[in-house]
Copies of this chain bind each other. A is one copy, B any other.
Amino acid sequence: MTIDQLDARLILLLTEEPRLGVLECSRRLAVARGTVQARLDRLVARGVITGFGPDISPAALGYDVMAFVTLEIRQISGHDPVAHGLARIPEVLEVHTTSGGGDLFCRVVARSNADLQRVIDLIVDVPGVLRTSSVIALDTPVPYRVLPLVADVPRHRDH
Docked complex Cα distance between A139 and B18 (Å): 30
CB distance from A139 to the nearest CB of B (A): 5
Q: Which of A79-103 contact B (CB under 8 A)?
A: 79-80, 83-84, 86-87, 89-100, 103
Q: How many residues of A contact B (CB 8 A)?
A: 71
Would A11 and B48 count as touching, CB distance under 8 A? no
Among candidates B48, B56, B57, B95, residue contacting A142 with C-beta atoms closer than 8 Å: B95
| A114-135 vs B, Cβ < 8 Å mask (1 yes, 0 no) | 0000000000000000000001
List B contacts of A60 (CB < 8 A): 1, 46-48, 50
Docked complex Cα distance between A49 and B61 (Å): 10
List B contacts of A23 (CB < 8 A): none
Docked complex Cα distance between A19 and B40 (Å): 12
CB distance from A71 to the nearest CB of B (A): 12
List B contacts of A91 (CB < 8 A): 148-149
The 5 A-B pairs of least Cβ separation, nearest first, read A83-B141, A90-B148, A18-B52, A95-B142, A96-B137
